[in-house]
Structure 1
């Protein structure tokens, strides 16, 4: 059982389904509304836990109803929440999501996620020491992500970074990343190289990039410079929210099986996740993933 430490955001997703996206100044009548546990960090933690990993969450919620509910939800998935801090005076983070024809538009209000400090990361040193893989994203302060990368290095643990939302990565942080997991746009912005092809960017980081490519699957920059591709899996999409997070949670969970197999399983898990509404509610269990892969062979 892989031990995955996830450092990142914990949000409540407020999801509206509509027949079209509103234009500026326009008011539309939606079809459905629901709340779902979310946040890229929590999503990736749930994905890994459902796929059989032993998961610890390191993040921050507000002292409010959403925060208490989200912490309980994580615990109900078997995730260790002892390092989920409560930020007094800060609201729990939310994401306002509009879904239309299986596509989505999202506004995130970070709230307590931006209260996670490097000092809290350092206080959780025992969690880094116990992990097999550390997985992070960029919905918490960059200084805290860097502190997590430094803790991972200190304890000799691989550090996976999903660079979303996309920003230019400081070289100090990039040098600490074992595996970067962007999409094509995030890769270009992370390296601040908008004119170069993704293949050229892969050549800069051999063995250190797995790039998601939506329906097309994913590609890996192997240590020898070769590009290893994994085709996507055809499914009927209902809601793409959380597909990338599912991919990342699966990749961290199965990385010990080798890059090609981890990518195959991560692409399959990501495909399965879009067949149900909501980010976490669509994430497959290990049994569901195994059954799906058996059907593909």
Structure 2
């Protein structure tokens, strides 16, 4: 399926230092690490490698440091078919994370390093973005890059379908990632918005409030489109994207056309939940935006997908995430398309 759809991912490529801990420590508490390993991670790399495993044509726009961590990240990328030609190298310390993984698969993550925070789009990056069919952006992307990307998409006659992952709470993003005002622009400009419970709470006041607000905005958009004959075309001022709120082991809520639907997560033996959300997003991109008839590159994006396809896409994405959770590290269990299809057929 490689080469059918061009996908550009903007996000970090990082090294994860993974600690298998007895428990996630409470404030002033402690934990014991029975095992310490390193692995390849970062939201951008996770989504890119997941799409690559599914057979998609994907290019990563990122930045690493000229140090051991940056060299290892590039070595990991070289072992995949991800196009890493737009991964630049700078003098800043490479972005890297400490991942505390508890026996039940839950985890806590602490990130450091300035390399991705200093990313800026050069002319080749900009050309790759406007030429793509689908562009994914994480909320950890520096605000200057996010704003430039939005301007590029808005100025393109046949824009790529835009996916925005809210990623984290406001306090984690300030001075590091996409600022609240820019997030608001993504809410209206993107074709697909993804947010976990923590991020939804930070920006909307909670998952329930997020569902109500997004659904109401979608209904208002549909009413306005029927009233003025615009057909619901995407515009930075008049609409909200399809949205998916992820709830970890409790599944996901999909919002489309003002309606919400809940989908349960698959029951698997969880070894490590790190990267599960990124794997899920990759599955959604594969099914809703990069699949045949998905409307990529038209500005219609996921609006072209019917109710049955919504359910099938959510189920496929949930399977990608579930399979990844059965192995250690953010990318350890990322499946091929054939593996996902076998997993789903066994559960029909």
1:31-82 deviation digits (Å, cap 9, x = unpaired):
1111000111111111111112111000100011221221221232100111
1:120-157 deviation digits (Å, cap 9, x = unpaired):
3x541221133211011122312212222332333311
Q: CA deviation at 1:179?
A: 1.3
1:238 aligns to what SS in structure 2? Answer: coil
Task: Work out which of the residue numbers 137, 159, 174 in structure 1 matches 2:187.
Answer: 174
Superposition RMSD on alpha carbons, in Å? 2.1
Task: Work out which of the residue numbers 63, 71, 80 in structure 1 matches 2:74.
Answer: 71
2:115 aligns to what SS in structure 1? Answer: helix
Q: Equivalents in 1 of 2:185, 2:26: separation in Å? A: 40
Q: Give the unaligned 5+ runs of structure 2.
A: 171-178, 219-240, 292-304
Give runs of aligned pairs for residues 278-289 of structure 1, distance below 5 A.
Answer: 278-289=329-340
TM-score, normalised to structure 2, is 0.78
1:247 aligns to what SS in structure 2? Answer: helix
Equivalenced residue count is 292
- C-alpha change, 1:273 and 1:130, in structure 2 (3 Å) is same
Q: CA deviation at 1:18?
A: 1.8
- C-alpha change, 1:25 and 1:246, in structure 2 (3 Å) is same
1:274 aligns with 2:325: yes
- C-alpha change, 1:185 and 1:98, in structure 2 (3 Å) is closer
1:265 aligns with 2:316: yes
Q: Equivalents in 2 of 1:273, 1:286: separation in Å? A: 13
1:101-130 deviation digits (Å, cap 9, x = unpaired):
21111111142011102x43x541221133
Q: Equivalents in 1 of 2:260, 2:254: separation in Å? A: 6
2:321 aligns to what SS in structure 1? Answer: helix
Structure 2 equivalent of residue 239 of structure 1: 272
Q: CA deviation at 1:263?
A: 1.3
Q: Equivalents in 2 of 1:210, 1:179: separation in Å? A: 8
Return the index of the structure with the highest Cα Rg.
2
Structure 2 equivalent of residue 249 of structure 1: 282
* Residue pair 1:10, 1:70 contacting (<8 A) in 2 also: yes
Q: Equivalents in 1 of 2:62, 2:94: separation in Å? A: 11
Q: Equivalents in 1 of 2:207, 2:134: separation in Å? A: 32
Q: Give the unaligned 5+ runs of structure 1.
A: none
Give runs of aligned pairs for residues 55-66 of structure 1, distance below 5 A.
Answer: 55-66=58-69
* Residue pair 2:197, 2:207 contacting (<8 A) in 1 also: no
Task: Work out which of the residue numbers 194, 206, 211 in structure 2 matches 1:199.
Answer: 211
- C-alpha change, 1:219 and 1:24, in structure 2 (3 Å) is closer
Q: Equivalents in 2 of 1:195, 1:248: separation in Å? A: 18
1:290 aligns with 2:302: no
* Residue pair 2:197, 2:206 contacting (<8 A) in 1 also: no
Q: Equivalents in 1 of 2:138, 2:38: separation in Å? A: 22
